[in-house]
Structure 1
Amino acid sequence: MQKFSIPFGKGHIHFELPDEQVAGVLLSHAHEYKAPKSEEELVADALANPIGSPRLSELAKGKKTCTIISSDHTRPVPSHVIMPQLLAELRKGNPDIDITILVATGMHRPTTHEELVAKYGKEIAEKEKFIIHVSRNDADMVSIGTLPSGGECLINKAAVNTDLLISEGFIEPHFFAGMSGGRKSVLPGIASKITVLANHCSEFINSPYARTGILEGNPIHKDMLYAAKAAKLAFICNVVIDADKKVIAAFAGDREQAHYKGVEFEMKLAGVKPVPADIVVTTNGGYPLDQNIYQSVKGMTAAEATCKDGGVIIDCSSCSDGHGGEDFFNTLKQADDLQKAMDEILARDRNETIFDQWESQILLRLLLHFDIIMVTDAPKDMVEAMHLKYAANIDEAFAMAKKLLAAKGVADPKVTVIPDGVSVIVK
């Protein structure tokens, strides 16, 4: 028997499978990588030796204001490790610099004070100046140009009306931007809903280049690069983390050069070969990335890359925050015919994109090829309203999967397990 322990919320789900039933296990090498130094030392080294840029303390000299773009509560960025060092480095170069931390919520709900404390620590959360980005607040946005795709590039004025714009974040595989980090802190991080909707249009999401691990030829990435440049993002500090959300590498400096160095490191760790199977078990890496169904689609796309057509994906995600997007939920709930719903999305022009359409589009793509069973804390009626199947536990999910496959003539299904679906690039 093979024993498995996969992340689920702030805990784990444990199960066993007979050896002969396991086709393979797809695991990022980041989970076995041993960092040469502590988290704090890795970040300190990166800041002391920036890539393609002067030190942050040098950039801060002569500047009156600085805005730091920081990831929100849905991302496991270890800001409690990174932010103190960014603040110290800025004030080392300019003790009087006026610093604002701009929380990049993208299209997510606003981050709460409790989440700020959990993310940064009580001292920073209560002493530093914060602005929570809200993409729907048109009055907060300033136009900085036109995206290569043709959409207007509008971003938060706090990022425009500053002498120095920098960002912190992390680098991991992303299911349509290719990789997270770097330029993504600007678009969608602090962009207007208008800009995000144009960038996340159905045409781009449908592109074969808008996939996990792909940057070259990716139209979404191209727009994001433009936005970061137009915003004058001067410096980034991005980290790579392991399964325990600990820093194992850090990259600081120029927004593109430092990001690409980090991407190169992550690609070596995250790349895994597909092991086709009738059943694929995946997760969203546990909390905070599995807070809702919206985010959990990411882990499902890893399973998509290795599940046999007509197979079953078992997604284990806590989803303590529910569906994660009203528009996302309603699109699926109102879809009496999945193919028709997909055709309607694909027919929409870039300027007709609706909220959460991209997530709906990707989930529909999956549902048109696979049965998806969710082991989750989300309400059963919510899950089933979205054309997903609900299982109270992993054993029930396996029994359901075998029954579904038996009806299709598959008598002895094999299983591939992806313990952390957001940490791998299946190629």
Structure 2
Amino acid sequence: MKVKFPFGREKIEVELPDSTQVLESKAAEYVPSKSQEELVQAALEHPIGSKRVSELAKGKKKIVIITSDHTRPVPSKITLPLYLKEIRKNNPDCEITILIATGFHRPTTKEEMLDKFGEELVKNEKFVIHMSQNDEDMAYLGVLPSGGELLINKLAVEADLLVSEGFIEPHFFAGFSGGRKSVLPGIASQKTVFGNHCSKFIASDKSRTGNLDGNPIHKDMEFAAKEAKLAFILNVAIDADKKVIAAFAGDAFEAHEKGCEFVKNLSKVEGTDADIVITTNGGYPLDQNIYQSVKSMTAAEACAKPDGIIIEASKCNDGHGGESFYQTFKNAKNPKEVEDMILKVKMEDTIADQWESQILARILVRHQVLYVADKSAKDILEDMHMTYVPTIEEALKKAIEIKGKDAKIAVIPEGISVIVTPKSNK
């Protein structure tokens, strides 16, 4: 059989044994009844659990729209113009600030802004990039259920109306992306992010892909969105080509819940126990660095035998994605040392990128990872205790040499788009 794997901005076709098990989200075959623009417009006109945002915007002076940064494939060229038009419908003179939710990521560059939003929006609208390390930009809003301080961007707190846009996909520890995640971690202080992403919460069996029930990380995020007075959201679901297949607008919690239900129904796949699992992080912009690509590795982890080999194919042309993340592994003798160290760290002592390091260490302790990436990432990958391989074909050949010619192979072409139901014996 032939399977196409997204890699950067292209797709790589690989020939695989006919016995290979393919795990894919049903989003690939979902055919929406309307165009992307029509889906978004209909959602704005018929919000869930809320008045239209044009009604909410009446009489408001300062309006802030939280949007995603360069690491998220939110189709803002489609969503944002329609959103802005709806907001200005009854209030053409309001002052709108578009706040780019970088969370703890690096700042979005001008080139990335143009690529994501288009020249017209960047030229004509007011954009501000959230900087989580700038204490002077933050406002204190109380204490999270976890006990951590809630500090978020002052622009959001001082707004007369706070709204957001985003997309909903399975998330490897928050359950799902979108909705409340625009506030925490999106526009939160690094101190708040560190508390929410502490080792105890990441280690919880409730902090898993597709689960919100009892999820301590989600609980903090919901609290943050309520305290920030996030009044309205526009969230979309997208397919493998990053095209809108559904849109959900309205109350920050009700609309998000509906969107999560939709995504869950498409994304759930029955797990397996494979000797070799091949996956990707969905191509650009999600596979720009190793940090982001840990997400898809958790889907492979759920499908691999305890000693199974994971083959991750992510471009990683932007390197590791987090200096502390990289140094944690580079300075350790092995992944077990990283895992043991992080599990002892108290919430108040959480360090940068610790959550990503914790999950990657968990995977590397139990699985050998062969990593197909841009050649520029070779030394970084090997410093981080993974094996760089130039192509998927070479990685598969190497894996079969280790596991034997009768090895059971599974592929998850887009690891970030599935919720794997583990087999009962795992």
Structure 2 length normalisation: TM-score? 0.98
Residue 385 of structure 1 pairs with residue 383 of structure 2? yes
The one-letter code sitting in structure 2 at the alignment partner of 1:10 is R
What is the deviation of 1:402? Answer: 2.0
Alignment partner, residue 401 of structure 1: 399
Alignment partner, residue 65 of structure 1: 62
Deviations 1:67-105 (A, max 9, x none): 000000000000011100111011102011100000000
Alignment partner, residue 6 of structure 1: 5
Alignment partner, residue 339 of structure 1: 336
Distance 2:245 2:131 in 1: 31
Counterparts of 1:235-314 in structure 2, within 5 Å, are 235-314=232-311
Alignment partner, residue 53 of structure 2: 56
The equivalent position to 1:118 in structure 2, one of 115, 119, 133, is 115
The one-letter code sitting in structure 1 at the alignment partner of 2:398 is M
Distance 1:11 1:33 in 2: 22
What is the deviation of 1:186? Answer: 0.2
The one-letter code sitting in structure 2 at the alignment partner of 1:402 is I
Alignment partner, residue 145 of structure 2: 148
CA contact (8 A) 2:236 2:244 kept: yes
Distance 2:18 2:272 in 1: 15
What is the deviation of 1:404? Answer: 2.9
CA contact (8 A) 2:237 2:245 kept: yes
Residue 422 of structure 1 pairs with residue 409 of structure 2? no
Distance 1:54 1:97 in 2: 18
The one-letter code sitting in structure 2 at the alignment partner of 1:5 is K
Residue 161 of structure 1 pairs with residue 155 of structure 2? no
Distance 1:385 1:359 in 2: 16
What is the deviation of 1:403? Answer: 2.8
What root-mean-square deviation, in Å, do the aligned CA atoms of Structure 1 and Structure 2 show? 0.8
Alignment partner, residue 353 of structure 1: 350
Extract unaligned runs of 5+ from structure 1: none
Identity of aligned residues (%): 61
Aligned pair count reads: 420
Alignment partner, residue 168 of structure 2: 171
Deviations 1:338-390 (A, max 9, x none): 22221110101000000000000000000011000110004311110000111
What is the deviation of 1:330? Answer: 0.4
CA contact (8 A) 2:334 2:385 kept: no
Distance 1:173 1:72 in 2: 18
Distance 2:269 2:335 in 1: 31
Distance 1:400 1:360 in 2: 26
What is the deviation of 1:411? Answer: 4.8
Deviations 1:245-292 (A, max 9, x none): 000000000000000000000000000001221000000000000000
Counterparts of 1:6-25 in structure 2, within 5 Å, are 6-20=5-19, 22=20, 24-25=21-22
Distance 1:210 1:288 in 2: 24
What is the deviation of 1:175? Answer: 0.2
Structure 1 length normalisation: TM-score? 0.97
Distance 2:334 2:245 in 1: 45
Extract unaligned runs of 5+ from structure 2: 422-426
Distance 1:300 1:338 in 2: 15
Q: Secondary structure at the match of 1:422?
A: helix
The equivalent position to 2:131 in structure 1, one of 130, 134, 138, is 134
